[in-house]
Amino acid sequence: MKLATYKDGSRDGQLVVVSRALTQAHYATHVANRLQQVLDDWNFLSPQVQDIYDALNAGRARHAFAFEPDRCMAPLPRAYQWADGSAYINHVELVRKARGAEVPETFYTDPLMYQGGSDDFIGPTDPIVCVSEDFGIDFEAEVAVVTGDIPMGCNAERALDGIRLVLLANDVSLRNLIPAELAKGFGFVQSKPATAFSPVAITPDELGDAWSKGRVHLSLHCTWNGRRVGMCEAGPEMTFHFGQLTAHLAKTRNVRAGSVIGSGTVSNRGVEKKGQMHWPNGYSCIAEKRAMEMLQDGQPSTEFMKYGDTIRIEMKNAAGQSLFGAIEQTVAAPGAQA
């Protein structure tokens, strides 16, 4: 099933069930008002939400209305946890190679992950509000999951069983603030502002065969200022699958229902051609593009995002249908009209 949260002036919005084709929607009011409620009591409530979904897809839902993605908050407008992995080791390799740094051997066996802020997620068409263009505003296109309760110390298979929903994320990064925070060793506080999510979160069964062993085997499209810059495959090169990322997080603590776990920037390896590296699938963040330029030309030439820049992130199935709806954001100064 596909679930979204409509803006209603409240902090948590209204849960809506969205049809498979993303054309129709229906409130789930008689079951639950908020997605977190469904996650808190999944076994009891999710079958009831599934009934609404089935009726909606069959054209039998009594009070269906047209689905409008720009009325969406993030599916979870605020969550109790946001932990973002860096599961595509190619991303780490690329960025480190560009600055002449090594990738430690442990990075191939022990996932990189940071704990992010989850009190203020933003909707798929909300502006990326940033105090200064000088911060180095970058998009980061990711796949993310929402978990049920995951017990402390469980293995990756058990953790994988606890994944309830899949969605897309734009984990906006302020690149020029990152080096100072990395040097402090305490993770990211200021260099990772509010994260945006796709209009709908979907149950893994919606992905069919594309959901396999904790990975989404489809390509992620990034369009920056109207130009397609990324079409990275999210499946084969994901070094750690979502069960492994979740088990990593749960090693020393219980992970509670509604935790959101990100894949990190989806990234594909380059190919060598006539002694030069090429990246035919493009990039899912500007930092990678700059690293590619560094490796090719000795210096980066692409600048980070400016006020007014747009970013669109979307994933389609084999039939060309949008699975999650699109994240479509514009960078804005504080106080600017969206």
Distances (CA, A) of 193 to 121, 180, 210: 9, 16, 31
The residue type found at 53 is Y
In 3D space, the residue among 124, 138, 85 whose CA is nearest the CA of residue 107 turns out to be 85
- Site map 265..284 versus a second copy, x via CB under 8 A: --------------------
> Is 131 an interacting residue with respect to a second copy (CB under 8 A)?
yes
> Is 185 an interacting residue with respect to a second copy (CB under 8 A)?
yes
Q: Name which of 131 and 336 has its Cβ closer to a second copy.
A: 131
**Least distance between a second copy and beta carbon 103 (Å):** 11
Q: Name which of 185 and 280 has its Cβ closer to a second copy.
A: 185
| Stretch of residues binding a second copy (CB under 8 A), selected from 218-226, 252-260, 273-281, 319-327 | 252-260
Distance between CA atoms of residues 146 and 333, nearest Å: 30
Cβ neighbour number for residue 272 with a 10 Å cutoff: 8
Q: Name which of 15 and 172 has its Cβ closer to a second copy.
A: 172
For residue 76, give the DSSP letter.
Answer: S
> Is 187 an interacting residue with respect to a second copy (CB under 8 A)?
yes
Task: Please count the residues of the chain.
Answer: 338
> Is 189 an interacting residue with respect to a second copy (CB under 8 A)?
yes
State which H helix or E strand residue 243 sits in: helix 242-249
**Least distance between a second copy and beta carbon 138 (Å):** 13
The residue type found at 332 is A
**CA of residue 234 relative to chain centroid, distance:** 11
11-50: contacts with a second copy (CB under 8 A): 11, 40
Among 88, 139, 188, 324, binds a second copy (CB under 8 A): 188
> Is 196 an interacting residue with respect to a second copy (CB under 8 A)?
no
Among 28, 72, 130, 196, binds a second copy (CB under 8 A): 130
52-91: contacts with a second copy (CB under 8 A): 78-81, 83, 86
Cα-only R_g, the chain: 19
Among 13, 69, 75, 116, binds a second copy (CB under 8 A): 116
In 3D space, the residue among 284, 268, 257, 305 whose CA is nearest the CA of residue 90 turns out to be 268
Beta-bridge partner residues of 104: none
Among 38, 207, 249, 291, binds a second copy (CB under 8 A): 249
Instruction: Determine contact, residues 196/72, Cβ cutoff 8 Å.
Output: no
Among 6, 50, 96, 117, binds a second copy (CB under 8 A): 117
| Stretch of residues binding a second copy (CB under 8 A), selected from 25-33, 110-118, 202-210, 222-230 | 110-118
Residues in binding contact with a second copy, number by CB under 8 A: 53
> Is 252 an interacting residue with respect to a second copy (CB under 8 A)?
yes
For residue 253, give the DSSP letter.
Answer: S
Distances (CA, A) of 29 to 12, 74, 85: 14, 18, 34
Distance between CA atoms of residues 101 and 84, nearest Å: 22
Instruction: Determine contact, residues 220/143, Cβ cutoff 8 Å.
Output: yes
| Stretch of residues binding a second copy (CB under 8 A), selected from 182-190, 288-296, 301-309, 322-330 | 182-190
Binding residues for a second copy (CB under 8 A): 11, 40, 78-81, 83, 86, 104, 106, 110, 112-120, 129-131, 135, 152-153, 174, 177, 180, 182-191, 193-194, 248-249, 251-259, 334
